Amino acid sequence: MAKEKVVLAYSGGLDTSIIIHWLIENYDYEVIAVCGDVGQGKETEGLEERAKKAGASKLYIADLKEEYVKDYIFPTLKAGAVYEGKYLLGTSHARPIIAKKLVEIAKKEGAVAICHGATGKGNDQVRFELTIKALAPELKIIAPWRVWDIKSREDAVDYAEKNGIEIPVTKKDLYSRDRNVWHISHEGMDLEDPWNEPQLDNLLKLTTPPEKAPDTPKYITVGFEKGEPVSIDGKNYSPLALVEELNKIGGEYGIGIADIVEDRLVGMKSRGVYETPGGTILYAAHDELEYLCLDRDTQAFKRQAAIKFAELVYDGKWFTPLREALSAFVDSTQQTVTGEVKLKLYKGHISPAGAKSKYSLYNEDIASFGDSHELYSHKDAEGFINLFGLPLKVRALMNEKNKNN
């Protein structure tokens, strides 16, 4: 009788390397490993050999990078969604697309369960499982970190050594990292104490420490069409190639390092360092273009919606009616967000250096201090202020009357 199948979200890292052996040992499943390639780079090299050596019957490597940028990163960028003012959601919006692929392969293979290596203290367990529930509610979900006896990454290393499992880390380098085309995150070890300054020289993978960045600034121009970035310095790029190029540029100039103590969905605070060089440039450029092209009321409401959008993405609620509705609203606002933004990059800082759009709402004739434009007269301001300030004047008269009585 054929064994039942389980699909494992496989990265080749410490956790998922030992999970293959653990699933076979405890469930007697046939393990099908799936790596969703969202830009891990060299981390995908040699995965098939390692997965099979650990006991998997096969490995799928799904190239999701272009889809990830186009359908997950760009919608979040257009929304202006930033979690708690700092986090550009690099891990958060990668999980739904990976989980979606897990579901597709589980259905193709006739698997009865999907397994992931997210810990019981983290957000990723929620992001994976909400996506699975939304797309394949019939599938069983296995989360080893919530049920096994392993309590720490040191324990996991011991388990691997005991069972002869090849792993890519040692006890001397146990930073928990997540890398994709958008960012790389660093957690654990000395970062667990918020008083410790991050040792950037040893920590960073994408970005030059700002003090070691070039001593002369760099100017770049980013072009947008309907809110989506399409060009750098007049040259058109595919979504993926554009992000990759901006990562190189931003990384060289020390852009996009964020040290964050964030509120996890599960109720605790955690500390991490995120590198998002290209993404930080894109958010800055997109903001500048919206200042030019969106009216005051739309901008104000969109900023409020951005907070909710970020929370939905962070909480793993990508495949929900509200997220989809907010994306529809955002797309409506972006119809005139077309143009170019010039930015100055210097030692970790981004300064706006100019913006232009054929949809610009800035009218120099009206905005100037002169009184030459027929649409605006200085005299009109008096009546406006009288009406706008009428409630304040009425209240002041009432207070004066009652004080005298």
- Does 176 participate in catalysis according to the annotation? yes
95 is catalytic: yes
Q: 15, 37, 178, 315: which is the annotated catalytic residue?
A: 15
SS3 (DSSP) at 72: helix
- Asked if residue 262 belongs to a known ligand binding site, the reply is yes
11 marked as binding residue: yes
296 is catalytic: no
Q: What is the spatial distance between Cα 176 and Cα 212, in angstroms, rounded to a whole number?
A: 25
Any known ligand binding at 280?
no
Residue 227 in tokens:
């809110």
> Residue 192, class by beta-carbon neighbours within 10 Å (0-12 exposed, 13-18 middle, 19+ buried)?
exposed
How many Å apart are CA 147 and CA 74, to the nearest integer?
A: 36
271 annotated among ligand-binding-site residues: no
119 among annotated binding-site residues: yes
Q: Is beta strand 339-346 parallel, antiparallel or unpaired with respect to 269-275?
A: unpaired
231 is in an annotated binding site: no
Tell me which amino acid residue 78 is: K
Annotated catalytic residue, options 37, 124, 178, 315: 124
Known binding residue 333? Answer is: no
Q: Pick the closest to residue 225 from 331, 328, 80 (CA basis).
A: 331
Do the annotations mark residue 17 as ligand-binding?
A: yes
User: What b/e readout covers 64-76, taking b as 16+ CB neighbours within 10 angstroms?
Assistant: bbebbbeebbbbb
| Exposed e or buried b per residue across 77-87, where buried means at least 16 C-beta atoms within 10 angstroms of its C-beta | bbbbbbbeeeb
Flag whether 127 is marked binding: yes
Residue 315, marked binder = no
Task: Please name the helix (run of DSSP H) or strand (run of DSSP E) that holds residue 271, with its range, or none.
Answer: strand 269-275
95, 179, 271, 323: the active-site residue: 95
User: How far apart (Å, rounded) are the C-alpha atoms in residues 59 and 105?
Assistant: 11
State yes or no: 12 annotated in a binding site: yes
Backbone angles phi, psi at 399, to 5 degrees: -65, -40
Collapsing DSSP to helix, strand or coil, 153 comes out as helix
Q: Is 395 a catalytic residue?
A: no
| Amino acid code (one letter) for 319 | F
- Residues 9-27 as b or e (16 or more Cβ within 10 Å = b): bbbbbbbbbbbbbbbbeee
Say which of 37, 50, 153, 176 is annotated catalytic. 176
The encoded tokens of residue 103 equal 């579901």
DSSP state for residue 311 in the 8-state scheme: H
Asked if residue 127 lies in contact with residue 92, where contact means CB atoms within 8 angstroms, the answer is: yes
Q: Which residues, listed in sequence order, are joined to residue 274 by a DSSP beta bridge?
A: 185, 258
Q: Is 372 annotated as a binding residue?
A: no
Q: Is 117 annotated as a binding residue?
A: yes
Query: Is 348 flagged in the annotation as binding?
Result: no
Q: Give the number of C-alpha atoms closer than 13 A to the C-alpha of residue 338, restricted to the C-beta side.
A: 8
Please state the residue numbers annotated as binding site for L-citrulline.
87, 92, 123, 127, 176, 185, 262, 274
Please state the residue numbers annotated as binding site for L-aspartate.
119, 123-124
Please state the residue numbers annotated as binding site.
9-17, 87, 92, 117, 119, 123-124, 127, 176, 185, 262, 274
Catalytically active residues are 15, 95, 124, 176
